[in-house]
């Protein structure tokens, strides 16, 4: 079935992204994975090539292009090249940090942070998860207390994407302990603020080069001007951004599943066993047929979700459906592809090996599969 989501401008952008990855990322990626850190030069190169910050308004140094299909193209090309650690940090910047500031920030805040983020000079992060809280955001214990013209932040965060490199961190803190879900606010902490420090750079199962870290806030004084959005509306602001965040994960998931399938399809017709390509064995053909069908059916749904996002019609409910289904599909497809590669599938020099370890987190972050099903189930029960 002919896929129709992309137009000529998107395919032209694909060529730009493909050339950028071949020039700046792929030659260095193996070393960055070994170092367990993507070099900041990658971010600067992405800024110069227009790969990052595309949606930043022109007056703040971006292109003002909010069509998510361009981000879809980037996700597909990163999946094709198995440079997922780079793509993960980029997705956090483009699909979470920048949209929060662009949508909630004052003119002064946008002027201060967005140009640097579009140029790859400033790297963003969002600090939600804490050592004792995961999906239960209402259990957040990090506090921010007003003191004159400042907020004083105390607390710890963990599993923070871009945690080591981050220059601009959107911190979810409790500003009113008696207000329940209305007691949270978003405050922007900047690199170098006294009392703000990085804990461990976490050693993950996959995404080795992507910097995930613990963050510590000890009496960090943040100017009142760094309040992002409305005081007490932090939880609402988080919910407002969920459709974009979750469909971003879904897009990366279906792109990764498709890439894994293509590597495997090519491999099984090159690899011989018992005197013929293993792709000629019925079991292999059936496995390929099943995976291709699931991928194409899911891809059609995710394409529709992206168009709904562009039209500002994508609901948190539909994003939850797309997120859990696509990420579980990715995990399932990649696992089967490793099996079809045999022993070579377990080797990290093969892209399928890297895809295997990188895929596992997809059903966990951005809301676990179980939380996604709970959201959908509650809507069904409500009738």
Catalytic residue numbers, as ranges: 245
Q: What angle do CA 44, 49, 51 make, to 5 degrees?
A: 85
Backbone angles phi, psi at 225, to 5 degrees: -65, -10
Least Cα distance to 337 among 294, 275, 383 occurs for 294
- Whether the CB-CB separation of 185 and 150 falls below 8 Å is answered with no
Alpha carbon distance 311, 301 (integer Å): 15
CA atoms in the 13 A half-sphere facing the CB of 81: 25
Query: Looking up tokens 């060529």, which residue turns up?
Result: 15
Structure tokens at 258: 């498709």
At 276 the three-state DSSP class reads strand
Pairing of strands 124-127, 168-174: parallel
Alpha carbon distance 255, 117 (integer Å): 25
Q: What angle do CA 362, 165, 37 make, to 5 degrees?
A: 65
3-state DSSP: the chain helix, strand, coil percent, rounded to 5?
A: 60, 15, 25
Structure tokens at 68: 């998510």
Q: What angle do CA 217, 43, 171 make, to 5 degrees?
A: 20
Alpha carbon distance 349, 181 (integer Å): 47
Helix 316-341 × helix 351-359 angle, to 10°: 140
Q: Tell me how crowded residue 51 is: count the other CB atoms within 10 A of its CB.
A: 26
Alpha carbon distance 98, 93 (integer Å): 6
């Amino acid at each position: 079935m002919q896929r129709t989501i992309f137009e000529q401008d998107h395919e032209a952008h694909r060529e730009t992204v493909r050339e950028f990855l071949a020039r700046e990322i792929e030659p260095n990626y193996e070393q960055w994975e070994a170092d367990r850190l993507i070099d900041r030069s990658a971010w600067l190169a992405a800024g110069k090539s227009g790969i990052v910050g595309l949606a930043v308004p022109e007056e703040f140094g971006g292109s003002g292009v909010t069509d998510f299909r361009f981000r879809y193209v980037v996700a597909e090309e990163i999946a094709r090249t198995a440079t997922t650690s780079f793509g993960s940090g980029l997705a956090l910047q483009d699909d979470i940090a920048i949209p929060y500031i662009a949508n909630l920030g004052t003119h002064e805040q946008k002027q201060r942070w967005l140009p640097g983020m579009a140029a790859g000079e400033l790297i963003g992060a969002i600090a939600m998860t804490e050592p004792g809280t995961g999906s239960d955001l209402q259990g957040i214990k990090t506090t921010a207390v007003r003191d004159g013209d400042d907020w004083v932040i105390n607390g710890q965060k963990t599993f923070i994407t871009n945690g080591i490199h981050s220059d601009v961190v959107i911190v979810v803190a409790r500003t009113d302990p008696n207000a329940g879900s209305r007691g949270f606010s978003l405050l922007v902490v900047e690199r170098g603020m006294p009392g703000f420090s990085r804990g461990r750079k976490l050693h993950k199962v996959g995404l080795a080069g992507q910097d995930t870290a613990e963050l510590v806030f000890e009496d960090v004084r943040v100017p009142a001007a760094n309040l992002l959005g409305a005081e007490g509306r932090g939880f609402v602001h988080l919910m407002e951004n969920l459709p974009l965040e979750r469909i971003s994960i879904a897009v990366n998931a279906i792109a990764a599943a498709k890439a894994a399938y293509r590597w495997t399809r090519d491999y099984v017709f090159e690899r011989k066993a018992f005197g013929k390509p293993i792709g000629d064995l019925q079991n292999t053909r059936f496995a390929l047929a099943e995976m291709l069908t699931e991928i194409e059916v899911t891809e059609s749904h995710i394409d529709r979700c992206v168009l709904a996002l562009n039209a500002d019609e994508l609901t948190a409910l539909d994003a939850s459906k797309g997120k859990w289904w696509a990420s579980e599909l990715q995990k399932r497809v990649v696992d089967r592809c490793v099996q079809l590669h045999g022993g070579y599938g377990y080797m990290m020099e093969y892209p399928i090996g890297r895809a295997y370890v990188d895929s596992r987190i997809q059903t966990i972050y951005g809301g676990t599969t179980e939380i996604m099903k709970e959201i959908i189930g509650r809507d069904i029960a409500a009738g």
